[in-house]
Structure 1
């Protein structure tokens, strides 16, 4: 993946996080993401730094979604 594509993905994930937080009136745990100090607008940062930020952001989002998960019954109606 090219750096420009990774930055674009980073921006999209940041929007997903914001939408999820607003829609569910909750905060996604993004402590690790914040520690990295890389934002989608940080175009001067390296490709590797953006990659780490994307993984940290995705981990925070999916971790929060796992907590909110509702069990679904396997029984047929």
Structure 2
């Protein structure tokens, strides 16, 4: 995937998260994403940084949906997303 496509996906996931956020609870869930200090508007950030942010957003969205829909997302899917976040963080640290 090209960097501009990653940025578009990043922006889409931010919109999805905002759509799901109906209260201040989402701020607590997003602390990991907020601590990255990267948004889709930061086009100077690397492709790997946007990729990591995408994985973090996916993990948060899965958790929010699972909480709202009474665990409609299987645990193994949420765990796999957590593993992707960890692996992408390791990749960023190695660079």
Tell me if structure 1 keeps the 8 A contact 2:20–2:64.
no
Give 5+ residue unaligned stretches, structure 2. Answer: 73-95
Higher relative CO (Cα under 8 Å, sequence separation at least 6) belongs to 1
Shift of 1:58: 1.1
* Number of the residue aligned with 2:33: 33
Q: How does 1:1-77 map to 2 (within 5 A)?
A: 1-22=1-22, 25=23, 27-28=25-26, 29-70=29-70
> What is the TM-score with the length of structure 1 in the denominator?
0.81
Gaps of 5+ in 1: 73-77
What per-residue deviation string (whole Å, max 9, x for no partner) do you get for residues 17-52 of structure 1?
111113xx4533111111111100000000000000
Structure showing the higher helix proportion among its residues: 2
Q: Which has the larger radius of gyration?
A: 1
**Deviation >4 Å, runs of 4+:** none
Name the count of aligned residue pairs: 70
State the TM-score, normalized to the length of structure 2.
0.67
